[in-house]
């Protein structure tokens, strides 16, 4: 995926195509190649070019985090998630108490979670499917932060940008604190006046954030997180690349997570169904290339999908790979007669052959409620 980024956000491992700053150009020795050192970054910065075009699919962002398996990472991810959730709760409590926000402190609080995502993003992604509806305001904000950070990482964005993405997602719905819960949780169709109240929440939130001396990048991203690619969103009706990059990322993850959490007025969709629904909104609500990257990042069958395989067995998706979105790693937990078995881990992208020689694949994604299942016990 081709993407414009600021040269100040360049990092080792990014594949730079060319300048994106008007007539300015990058010398041949620095273009159409992967940044391999800090010296390369310094050389580009000296060119006085504000933006460059990178190819995220050819990029390989460098990090110092050894990769872990899902089983190794899940305990760390859960602890980091719970700590970050307490951070979100503190933020909202601070706002209700008319206190002072501390963005620097919040970035430190989410560092362990971002570290976990760098080591194995599937572990953190699996926790997002366990969100409780009675804590929606907190869990939805944090889940969106996790998914948005995963997408930003996949797109090759810098760690600093991932921090800004996470904080923006955690703050995006602050304005809802000034809206009556009766309106926010209404089961029936909203009246025109009620919808106008809800549409006002980005403005309310940003008015508060400006009083807190919040970085402008975060404020403008919070303000624009309900803008649509085709200009039909709110509050400004921005379209295309006029929408801030962070807002374009968050809007997709916000919608996806909202669809997969049960609400008082509707049942949650399965992750697979949510992906299919998002796909119908390319070019309207969402930037098509960003949406394509999101689907590659989380897979056609995202982590947390309860699936039936072609050999009749059942399991839970626990990880995905962008190169094989239809062939995730699955934790088999029931046999073909739906009897519990000792868990077996199968990577469909590698072990796609059954003993009978037929291709092993997913044939159905099933809502856990169909069998009255609690996914929590299968994701450990």
Domains and CATH numbers, the chain: 2-55 (no CATH), 70-298 (1.10.3210.10), 306-378 (no CATH)
Q: What size, in residues, is the chain?
A: 380
Nearest-5° Cα angle at 55, 51 to 58: 140
Which positions of the chain have pLDDT values less than 70? 1, 56-57, 59-65, 131-134, 264-265, 351-358
Output the six-digit token pair for 339. Answer: 């009897």
Q: From the CB of residue 172, how many other CB atoms can be counted at a distance below 10 Å? A: 29
Are 198 and 183 spatial neighbours (Cβ–Cβ below 8 Å)?
yes
- Check: CB of residue 278 under 8 Å from CB of residue 300: no
- Kind plus residue range of the DSSP H or E element containing 269: none
* pLDDT number for residue 133: 54
**What angle is formed at CA 279 by the lines to CA 296 and CA 371, rounded to 5 degrees?**
85
Beta bridge partners of residue 306, listed in sequence order: 316, 366
Q: What is the pLDDT of residue 353?
A: 46
pLDDT of residue 315: 95
- Tens digit of each residue's pLDDT (9 = 90 or more) over 13-39: 778 888 887 777 888 888 888 887 888
At 75 the three-state DSSP class reads helix
Q: Report pTM.
A: 0.84
pLDDT of 256 reads: 96
φ, ψ at 266 (rounded to 5°): -165, 160
């Amino acid at each position: 995926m081709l993407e414009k980024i600021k040269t100040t956000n360049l990092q080792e491992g990014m594949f730079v195509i060319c300048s994106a700053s008007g007539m300015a150009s990058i010398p041949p020795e620095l273009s159409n190649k992967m940044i391999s050192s800090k010296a390369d970054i310094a050389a580009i910065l000296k060119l006085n070019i504000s933006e460059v075009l990178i190819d995220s699919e050819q990029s390989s962002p460098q990090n110092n985090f050894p990769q872990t398996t899902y089983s190794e990472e899940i305990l760390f991810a859960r602890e980091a998630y719970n700590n970050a959730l307490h951070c979100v709760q503190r933020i909202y409590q601070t706002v209700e108490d008319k206190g002072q926000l501390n963005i620097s402190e919040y970035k430190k609080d989410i560092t362990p979670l971002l570290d976990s995502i760098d080591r194995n993003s599937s572990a953190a992604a699996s926790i997002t499917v366990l969100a409780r509806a009675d804590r929606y305001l907190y869990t939805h904000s944090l889940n969106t932060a996790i998914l948005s950070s995963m997408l930003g990482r996949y797109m090759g964005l810098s760690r600093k940008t991932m921090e800004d993405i996470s904080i923006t997602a955690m703050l995006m719905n602050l304005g809802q604190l000034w809206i009556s819960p009766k309106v926010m949780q209404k089961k029936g169709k909203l009246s025109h006046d009620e919808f106008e109240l809800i549409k006002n929440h980005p403005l309310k939130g940003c008015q508060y954030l400006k009083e807190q001396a919040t970085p402008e990048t975060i404020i403008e991203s919070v303000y624009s997180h309900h803008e649509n690619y085709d200009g039909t969103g709110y509050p400004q009706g921005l379209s295309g690349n006029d929408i801030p990059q962070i807002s374009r990322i968050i809007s997709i993850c916000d919608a996806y997570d909202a669809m997969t959490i049960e609400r008082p007025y509707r049942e949650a969709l399965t992750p697979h169904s949510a992906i299919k629904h998002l796909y119908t909104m390319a070019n309207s609500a969402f930037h098509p290339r960003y949406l394509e990257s999101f689907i590659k990042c989380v897979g056609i069958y995202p982590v947390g999908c309860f699936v039936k395989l072609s050999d009749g067995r059942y399991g839970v998706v626990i990880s995905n790979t962008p190169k094989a979105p239809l062939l995730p790693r699955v934790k088999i937990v029931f046999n073909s007669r739906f009897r519990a078995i000792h868990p077996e881990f199968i990577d469909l992208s590698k072990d796609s052959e059954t003993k009978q020689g037929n291709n092993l694949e997913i044939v159905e994604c099933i809502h856990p409620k169909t069998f009255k299942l609690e996914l929590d016990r299968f994701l450990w």
